[in-house]
Structure 1
Amino acid sequence: MPQPLDAAAVRRWCRDALDAVGRAREDIDAINVYPVRDGDTGTNLYLTVESAAQAVAAAGTATPTLGQAVRAMAHGALIGARGNSGTILAQLLRGMAEVIADGDEPATADTLRRALRRAAASAYEAVARPVEGTMLTVATAAADAAERAGGTTADVAAAACAGARAALARTPSQLAVLAEAGVVDAGGSGLLAVLDALDAALSGRPPDASIRDRLGRPPAAHGAPERASAPEPAGAPACAPAAGTGRHEYPTHREFPRAVPQYEVIYLLDARDEALPALRARLDALGDSLVVVGGDGLWHVHVHTAEPGGAVEAGIEAGRPHRVRITGLPAGAAPPAPRAARAVVSVLPGDGLAGLCAQAGATTVTADADEPPGGGELAAAILGTRAGEVVLLPNDDALWHAAAAAAEQARAAGVRVAVVPTRSPVQGLAALAVHAAERRFDEDVVAMTAAAGATRFGEVAVAERQSWTTAGICQAGDVLGLIDGDVAVIGGDLAAVAREVLERMLSAGGELVTLVLGAATGRALADLLEARVRRGHYGVDTVVYEGRQEAPLLIGVE
């Protein structure tokens, strides 16, 4: 029996979409060949829908209105969007919410038609260089079919789903890379699963359980991809019948790779609307797959670039970026293995260190001082690596509980996870420097833990308020020198405190000093400290990184 498009239908839609995309996740990942063969489209869409569903479940009151429900859905998708496909899906949901929330309750068939059209149009506007044969094409076909349909909201949803299914089957004829691999567009497949869930929520029928069998043939695992002479109409759950320039210094003392690969950079951005044109222009010049979605002061930015630091700095110029994620993309054109052997996820306080660790092969999560990552975000980063074994480096005592919770979530999904108890980013760098994926997992974790434990860590910070410390009472504005997490020095001069902290740390010996400069710290401080090490500590090497974190200076001694 057809159901009204009200708040209850939105809850059913989110629940059914999460279930459908979850069942199809691995198959969508397997046919992910565009824009990058990184095999994570299904996972990214699942995490995006999961965030939307959680937001709807927690919306406002026990009985939210339709407007509250769809706004929560759109906001949840925006906050939790992952990857290129998830970011576009978030904009599609936002476009629908803008129309539905302003209409009658329950929504009419005409409201749903206009919502689907707004969704498609806003998604095209959000993508810097739209390409046909993608989920944008599928979204437009769904809106076209909806506008031709008469009847109830259920009829309109069924028509949109059928139109999307037909468009998805045509994507190999529009995009050569799909035809060569013999698959349909992965993002369009995921969008079709979401539309099928809407159809089910409004028609009263159960969601299609056979979606996994109709997602297209995955690309050949080895050799040249086969060319499909006539691709099967794939990617479809069955629908009801249709009615109708930052420069960072990365010294070579450590064995970090020197290649310049591509990275996926994602962050949320607090910025005014007028700052967006300049941001889009700068990011478009830095890379591709640029998608900027959102509004009302909150934006979700996604770009593929060889300059992750520059991409984050563009966000800093436009407003306040947070929840920054930088992930290395595969360099070759070969399709990815279904699951990588082992990965490292590292939580870092600045984009400079994030770029360095991404070059070393780690997936990075940038910790915002005001909004540290929670267990869910860390679990998403772990699962997003598609690795069977993952080492998590929290690099902060305050993140230990979140890291443990994330590890438990990932283990429940079948991933083997070890949390190395790194208490500072410099300990994380030391652990990553000895990481060797060819070793047995336990041996690798032991080696990384030992390297972290052998690294003393210090920090130079500025007190925000008067408080008691282990070195006495400090006042707001005092310069604090911390060693292994405890305040050891209180002073008024940044350089003097940094020298004192370094001397105390080296008093117990050491072979390598790591200096990580904050966003507002000039190179002169590093030069001063390097000279002091050369004069007073024979045989001790020094490396300097521009971490661009909030703290003026991080120090490690190994």
Structure 2
Amino acid sequence: MAAQGPPPGRAPAPAHLRPAVPGPGSTLRPVQQLKEAQVAHAPQTFLDALAVRTWCGLALAALGRAREEIDAINVYPVADGDTGTNLYLTVESAATAVEAVFAGYEAGADGGAPSLADAVRAMAHGALIGARGNSGTILAQLLRGMAQVLAAEGGAAHTGGEGLRLALRRAADSARLAVAHPVEGTVLSVASAAADAADGAEGDCVTVARAAHRGACEALAATPAQLAVLARAGVVDAGGRGLVAVLAALVETFAGEAPALLTTAPDGAHARVDALPDSLAGPAESCADGADGEDGGPAFEVIYLLEAEDTAVARLRRRLDALGDSLVVVGGDGLWNVHVHVDDAGAAVEAGVEAGRPYQIRITHFGAGDAHARVGERPLRERAQRAVVAVVPGEGLAGLYTEAGATAVLARPGEPPASGELVEAVRRAHAREVVLLPNDAELRHTAAAAAEQARAEGIRVALIPTRSAVQGIAALAVHEPGRRFDEDVVSMTSAAGATRHAEVVVAERQSWTMAGICQAGDILGLVDGDVAVIGADVTETAVSVLNRMLSAGGELVTLVLGDDAPEGIAEHLEARVREAYLAVDTVVYRGGRQGALLLIGVE
């Protein structure tokens, strides 16, 4: 990539450059305001760090304006009406990361500025860790592909048209490789067409960006002819529409004004086929490969960040591909973003655990008769009447809760969720009524704050003060969405309250307890939150705790095993219950990395 001449003077950014601020009740969070005096917006012919910053801000603003339109045309691969929102959140994360790099340099003693490599790496990393949904994950890989080329020359201050052409080509190719089964008529087709058009453009960054945008628009107009589900709905691909907005922002970054090639109908039609210019509209033929999206599909969307080696990720791809569809794995250098649609959410998370360290796990239940209903049979994004949102301490329990229909929020040891995460989960549940299960006594204030915020947004929320995941399991077992909300809440609260809870953990340090002084490494048995047993052996301590709990009676024992629980402990405890408590049943679940060696519930 040849270096260009010194940058010309830069004009202050106009007001419309600032990211659009979402309205009340939106799931979107406004990114830090861009500093007008430092954001380039004068026409220029090269790409540097300030241009990357400008592009992120313009793309965020464009997606903010188009978010509802893109959500409304989201019919593939799942008609869940959130593609625009997911793309916005992905770019918001990228823009925030770029802002952080600039802020770091501005705070430095030398008052320097980041290089192009600094800016594009931050953009790619921010998009990777903040990617949402299928389209957001693919966009993150597109940005990562660009960054791999643009950062290749290390400390180069800027690059020209040739560098941008190569970056767009790498972006399109790497995105295709990240998708297990690429389908034409999607954002992948739009990205490839943009790269092809850029390949044929000779000139500076303005020329290349305009060519890429025009090629993307033409490909977007052709998507209904490639994917039958789009033709039947009379819309273009939502992810592709979002990419066109991002590329339009790239043109505006260099040219100083947004291109007017693609317009939407003034009467409110949302990127319908007939709303495109006649020169871009194509026939709506059937999809040749049969990927029409109407045969139903998996019940859950699973997304998580993963720290893992390349070889482990290759095995993970094969396993997840066998479990479901819409598989996209993006990233590299030890950090990955995994997205898949499956029926067995627990198995998808367990596959990640086997590959490395998954975190920021998000599991969304599409809803029976909702996400996979045929287009035209129901309005997009119809709210469910009732949902359950639960905080869970391990991946295994997250899968268990989601398979029971709940929206799970994973809480790792030492990493409790903030109230904002709980509010987002309530919104993601997309229901008029929500039952919130914090499953931890220390989260009661956080959960109460989240419930209040959700109520302010018009959602009816009932907070059941569950103190353990086993109490949450008991509450979920009696949950009946068909009965009156108050009756359902009372029944769930009664079931949780009738469940005594205990856990077996390892003492981290010497401490005074109700059972005496414990030393670091001792095995502690806590019953209803208080230390009741101090022992040296996990199994013996668990038996002692179980005997104490069952001495007051019980009908059902629930055991949730952590990853570090000793082999055979479940069988030993089950045998103990059978021998000493004839009328008591036992169920066993695997909780994953839940902090405690063992959770025990007695109903």
Report the TM-score range of the alignment, normalised by the length of the smaller protein: 0.7 to 0.9
Q: Aligned to 2:271, which of 204, 208, 216?
A: 216
2: CA distance between counterparts of 1:329 and 1:142?
32
- Quote the offset at 1:492 in angstroms: 1.2
- In the alignment, does 2:100 pair up with 1:50? no
* Partner secondary structure for residue 563 of structure 2: coil
Larger radius of gyration: 2
Aligned positions of 1:422-501 closer than 5 A: 422-439=466-483, 441=485, 444-501=488-545
* Partner secondary structure for residue 196 of structure 1: helix
- Quote the offset at 1:71 in angstroms: 1.7
Aligned positions of 1:23-62 closer than 5 A: 23-59=65-101, 61-62=104-105
2: CA distance between counterparts of 1:81 and 1:403?
25
Aligned positions of 1:511-550 closer than 5 A: 511-521=555-565, 524-537=568-581, 539-550=583-594
- Identity over aligned residues, as a percent? 65
Normalised TM-score (structure 2): 0.78
CA displacement 1:445-493 (0-9 Å, x = unmatched): 4544443333321111223444444433333332111122222211012
Alignment partner, residue 221 of structure 2:
169
1: CA distance between counterparts of 2:264 and 2:448?
34
- Cα pair distance change 1:406/1:82, threshold 3 Å: farther
- Quote the offset at 1:418 in angstroms: 4.6
2: CA distance between counterparts of 1:23 and 1:45?
12
* Partner secondary structure for residue 47 of structure 2: coil
Aligned positions of 1:149-298 closer than 5 A: 149-205=201-257, 213=268, 215-217=270-272, 231-232=273-274, 234=276, 262-298=299-335
**Matching residue's letter, 2:374:** A
Structure 1 contact 32–186 (Cα < 8 Å) conserved:
yes
Q: Aligned to 2:140, which of 90, 94, 114?
A: 90
Gaps of 5+ in 2: 1-41, 107-112, 281-296
- Quote the offset at 1:531 in angstroms: 4.2
- Cα pair distance change 1:197/1:381, threshold 3 Å: farther
The worse-fitting range, judged by mean Cα deviation, of 526-535 and 51-60 is 526-535
Alignment partner, residue 2 of structure 1:
43
* Partner secondary structure for residue 104 of structure 2: coil
- Quote the offset at 1:401 in angstroms: 5.6
- Cα pair distance change 1:278/1:527, threshold 3 Å: closer
- Quote the offset at 1:196 in angstroms: 2.4
**Matching residue's letter, 2:271:** G
Aligned positions of 1:262-341 closer than 5 A: 262-330=299-367, 332-335=372-375, 337-341=380-384
Alignment partner, residue 166 of structure 2:
114
The worse-fitting range, judged by mean Cα deviation, of 175-184 and 145-154 is 145-154
2: CA distance between counterparts of 1:19 and 1:344?
33
1: CA distance between counterparts of 2:457 and 2:142?
28
- Cα pair distance change 1:21/1:494, threshold 3 Å: same
Aligned positions of 1:318-397 closer than 5 A: 318-330=355-367, 332-335=372-375, 337-341=380-384, 342-369=386-413, 371-397=415-441
* Partner secondary structure for residue 159 of structure 2: coil
- In the alignment, does 2:220 pair up with 1:133? no
**Matching residue's letter, 1:463:** A
Alignment partner, residue 224 of structure 1:
none
Gaps of 5+ in 1: 218-230, 239-259
Q: Aligned to 1:102, which of 152, 155, 158?
A: 152
* Partner secondary structure for residue 13 of structure 1: helix
Alignment partner, residue 64 of structure 2:
22
* Partner secondary structure for residue 265 of structure 1: strand
- Quote the offset at 1:130 in angstroms: 0.9
2: CA distance between counterparts of 1:275 and 1:17?
34
- Quote the offset at 1:407 in angstroms: 5.0
- Quote the offset at 1:520 in angstroms: 4.3
2: CA distance between counterparts of 1:443 and 1:210?
51
CA displacement 1:255-289 (0-9 Å, x = unmatched): xxxxx953222221111123222222222222221
CA-based RMSD: 3.2
Structure 1 contact 42–190 (Cα < 8 Å) conserved:
yes
- Quote the offset at 1:293 in angstroms: 0.7
1: CA distance between counterparts of 2:449 and 2:259?
31
- Cα pair distance change 1:543/1:279, threshold 3 Å: closer
Corresponding residue pairs, total: 523
1: CA distance between counterparts of 2:577 and 2:184?
58
**Matching residue's letter, 2:339:** H
- Cα pair distance change 1:492/1:340, threshold 3 Å: same
